[in-house]
Amino acid sequence: MATERTFSILKPDVTARNLTGAVNAVIEEAGLRIVAQRRIRMSDAQAKKFYEVHAERPFYGELVEFMTSGPVVVQVLEGENAVAKYREVMGATNPAQAADGTIRQKFAKSVGENTVHGSDSLENAGIEIKQFFDDKDIVG
């Protein structure tokens, strides 16, 4: 198994409810190491660029609006098979379908306000990490 890095966002519904520590506890208990973390306000341009693959989807405007509605916590997670592992720990995109014990089952309100984002492939993880972190910010 390979050590990988993946990109994570704790969304505005997390910071609004003071759940940063609770979500991080689930991440760390799953064996993923938080090797970079920063609390930011995502700009409209940053959110639009980050989610540009969804630009044609009907929920794109709502998604950008939500992601810029409050602070988010951007993170780099490291561990064995980190990309797939984090997707397992997050649970299904729709919290109604998320397995017990997953972050979205525990904390998410809806498919839109679904608490966390995680990269869907190793290639996208690299692209997404570069949008928010310099190499020197990542302390493994």
Q: DSSP string covering 12-55, please?
A: HHHHHTT-HHHHHHHHHHTT-EEEEEEEEPPPHHHHHHHTGGGT
Is 114 within any annotated ligand binding site?
A: yes
- 99-128 footprint of ligand CMP as x/- string (CB under 6 A): ------------xx-x--x-----------
Is 18 within any annotated ligand binding site?
A: no
Is 17 within any annotated ligand binding site?
A: no
From candidates 10, 63, 72, 103, binder to ligand CMP by CB under 6 A: 63
Tokens for 9?
């966002």
CA-wise closest residue to 74 among 16, 131, 114, 123:
131
Is 54 an active-site residue? no
Of 121 and 139, CB closest to ligand CMP: 121
Should residue 69 be labelled a site residue for ligand CMP when binding is judged by CB under 6 A? no
Should residue 70 be labelled a site residue for ligand CMP when binding is judged by CB under 6 A? no
Q: How far apart are the first and last CA of the chain?
A: 18
CA 3 distance to own-chain centroid: 19
Q: Of 82, 117, 128, 129, which one is the catalytic site residue?
A: 117
Enumerate helices (H) and strands (E) in the chain, giving the number of each: 7, 4
Query: Which region, judged by CB under 6 A, interacts with ligand CMP, from 16-24, 58-66, 99-107, 129-137?
Result: 58-66
Q: Within 10 A of 43 (CB to CB), how many other CB atoms are there?
A: 11
Residues contributing to the site for ligand CMP (CB under 6 A): 54, 59, 62-63, 93, 111-112, 114, 117
Which residues are annotated as part of the binding site for ATP? 11, 59, 87, 93, 104, 114
Active site residue ranges: 117
